[in-house]
Amino acid sequence: MSIDTGKVCALVTGASSGTGEAIARKLAHSGVRVALQYFRNELKAKQLAIELGNNSFAIGADLSSPIATRKLFKEVIATAGRLDILINNADTAVSSFIDDESWINDWEEMMAINLRAPAILSRQAIKYFLRSQIPGRIVNVAARASVKIESPEYIAYAASKAGLVSLSHSITDSFKKEGILSFVVDADSVRIQNPLPRPFYFVEDRIIDDSIFTNRTIEEKLASDIVAKVLDTKHQAGVGYSDSNASCFPE
């Protein structure tokens, strides 16, 4: 089932710059109305919403707060009248060695923003999709650290991203019969190899056409292209994640 992008709304967290901005631009170019979540960069987010068109809009929210995160979802529904796509892109990476006095606080901050906020938004979205009978899509932007980490100061970051991968698998396994799809995008791999290496793990034993990955790096534009292709999938389930060398998604 393909999405009729002219009739849908997407929420993109961390959308005022970087990968989130690129994703928002790609979605808007496809005709999607985009709700841009920002934290501090209000002016940039609001200017971007105007530039994107399609009645896109920006909403400020502190994703480290469960209350603010739930309020964000409610404000999107109140403003747009619906939601079809959730892109959990916002994250934080704090360098914190295990003997640092701030380690516990750093751990809690990264878990709050990188895992708890996506979980809250996913829960709210699933409840809304089921109630509204919308075959919604959830995309979680993970990182290579979810499967491989070589820097001890980023253990907490790696754990939060691994949790995000597990969350996506759980959503698909639990709600694919209702048409709710969850995907993982690795926005952190440096280069995609061709032919694609193994192993890969995903719900359906299929690999996306790797022609778009040949000799390309996953930067902001490629991340947005991948998300757009994932959202256009015709398959009934879709969770994929990448190892340290490559990304994979259901075709």
The active-site residue out of 38, 128, 154, 157 is: 157
Establish whether 157 is a catalytic residue.
yes
**Measured distance CA(88)–CA(117) in Å, rounded:** 8
- As a three-state string, the secondary structure of the chain is CCCCHHHCEEEECCCCCHHHHHHHHHHHHCCCEEEEEECCCHHHHHHHHHHHCCCCEEEECCCCCHHHHHHHHHHHHHHHCCCCEEEECCCCCCCCCCCCCCHHHHHHHHHHHHHHHHHHHHHHHHHHHHHHCCCCEEEEEECHHHCCCCCHHHHHHHHHHHHHHHHHHHHHHHHHHHCCEEEEEECCCCCCCCCCCCCCEECCCCCCCHHHHCCCCCCHHHHHHHHHHHHCCCCCCCCEECCCCCCCCCC
Q: What are phi and psi of 205, to 5 degrees?
A: -80, 65
Active-site annotation, residues: 157
